[in-house]
Amino acid sequence: MLLKHMHPDQLREAADRGDPLLVPAGCLETHGPHMAIGHDTIIVEEICDRIAEHLRVVIAPPFDYGNTGYALGGPRDGTVDPDYNSFGLFVKSILRNFIEMGFQRIFVPIVHQGMDGPLALTFKRAAVELSFEMVLDDGHPRGWWGDEVLSKSAPRFGGIKVLPMVLPAASPPAGGDHAGYNETSFLLATRPELVDQSKLDDNAPWYCRQDPEKNSWTASAEHGRIMVDAVVKAWVEMLG
Ligand SMILES: [Zn+2]
C-alpha cells in the first residue's frame, strides 16, 4: 500500500505488524535521447509496486531529486544536482520521521550510481547517524553500547537498510548500465510509453553504444521482463 494513501489507523496497524517500508530513491538525470530522465527513480518505484503484489509492504513517496554530480549532463539535458548538504539533511529528517512512525524495517532500494555513489552514501550516512543518535534520544546514558540496549533499540538501531535494487541474487540475469541494454530494457518492460528507440541515431551518446551487440538499440521488453522478474523474486525472498 502507498504510504500517502493510508489513514492513521492503517499506518498504525502496518507499523505495529512490522510491515516493511520501501523507500524508492533516485534522481533526475539525462538517459539518452530515448528514455525518460526520471528512469532511476521510476524503475525502483515499478519494482516496489511489483513486490507489493507478493507481500504486504508500505511504499513511501519517492525521493526524486538525488545527487548526480552532473556526470552525464546538466539541467538543459534534464539532469538535476541538489546541494549535497541540503539533500542530506532533508533525507535524514524524513528517515527519522519514518522511524518515529514506528516502522521497524525500512529499505531504500537504489539503482542510480551504485552503492558507493553520493545518493546511496547520503542514505547510508543518514541511516547510521540516526541509529546512534536515536539511542541517546531514547534516554540511554553515554556508554550505552551492549546487548541489552541494542536489543531494546533494535527497531531503531540498524533498522534502515540501503540496498542495491538489483540484489546479488538477481544478477545475472539482471544488470546495470546507463541507459544502455539493461536500463532501456527495464523501462521497456515496465513503462514502454516512456521509451522511444526511434530517437536513437548517430548522435546518441557513448553510453548508448557500449557494446556492439547489447546496447540501447537492441534492448528489449523481453530482456527487461526477465530482469524485473529476477529482481522482484530476490526482494520477495529477502523480505519474506
Ligand atoms: Zn540510470
Q: From ligand 1's centre to the CA of 31, what distance in Å?
A: 6
Q: From ligand 1's centre to the CA of 3, what distance in Å?
A: 25
pLDDT tens by residue, the chain, 240 residues: 999 999 999 999 999 999 999 999 999 999 999 999 999 999 999 999 999 999 999 999 999 999 999 999 999 999 999 999 999 999 999 999 999 999 999 999 999 998 999 999 999 999 999 999 988 888 888 888 887 777 776 667 888 999 999 999 999 999 999 999 999 999 999 999 999 999 999 999 999 998 999 999 999 999 999 999 999 999 999 998
Quick one: pLDDT at residue 151? 74
Quick one: pLDDT at residue 155? 61
Other Cβ atoms closer than 10 A to 154: 11
CATH number at residue 153: 3.40.50.10310
CA pair distance 179, 181, nearest whole angstrom: 7
Quick one: pLDDT at residue 86? 95
Quick one: pLDDT at residue 158? 83
Distance (Å) of CA 225 to CA 26, 59, 73, 171, 211: 21, 22, 29, 14, 21
Domain of 43 in residue numbering reads as 3-239
- The closest of 79, 42, 92, 81 to 62, measured between CA atoms, is 42
CA pair distance 92, 4, nearest whole angstrom: 19
Q: What angle do CA 135, 147, 108 make, to 5 degrees?
A: 55
Q: From ligand 1's centre to the CA of 35, what distance in Å?
A: 10
Alpha carbons within 13 angstroms on the beta-carbon side of residue 168 total: 1
- The closest of 23, 149, 165, 151 to 95, measured between CA atoms, is 23
Q: From ligand 1's centre to the CA of 93, what distance in Å?
A: 26
Quick one: pLDDT at residue 153? 65
Quick one: pLDDT at residue 146? 83
The DSSP result for 109-169, as a single string, is EE-TT-TTSHHHHHHHHHHHHHHHHHHHHTTPPSS--SHHHHHHTTTTTT-EEEEESS-GG
Q: From ligand 1's centre to the CA of 172, what distance in Å?
A: 18
Q: Is residue 73 left, alpha or beta, with left meaning phi > 0 and alpha meaning psi from -120 to 50?
A: left
User: Helix, strand, or coil here: 205?
Assistant: coil
Q: From ligand 1's centre to the CA of 240, what distance in Å?
A: 28
Q: From ligand 1's centre to the CA of 39, what distance in Å?
A: 6
Do the beta carbons of residue 197 and residue 33 sit within 8 Å?
no
Quick one: pLDDT at residue 141? 86
Q: Is the dihedral of CA 193, 199, 200, 205 positive or negative?
A: negative
Q: From ligand 1's centre to the CA of 149, what distance in Å?
A: 40
Q: From ligand 1's centre to the CA of 151, what distance in Å?
A: 38
CA pair distance 80, 34, nearest whole angstrom: 18
For residue 42, with 0-12 CB atoms within 10 Å meaning exposed, 13-18 middle and 19 or more buried, which class applies?
buried
The alpha carbon of 229 is separated from its chain's Cα centroid by a whole number of angstroms, namely 17
Q: From ligand 1's centre to the CA of 105, what distance in Å?
A: 26
Q: From ligand 1's centre to the CA of 217, what distance in Å?
A: 16
**What pTM was computed for the model?**
0.93
Other Cβ atoms closer than 10 A to 118: 19
How many domains, in total, are found in the chain?
1
Which grid cell is 1? Answer: 500500500
Q: From ligand 1's centre to the CA of 90, what distance in Å?
A: 22
Q: From ligand 1's centre to the CA of 189, what distance in Å?
A: 15
Do the beta carbons of residue 179 and residue 215 sit within 8 Å?
no
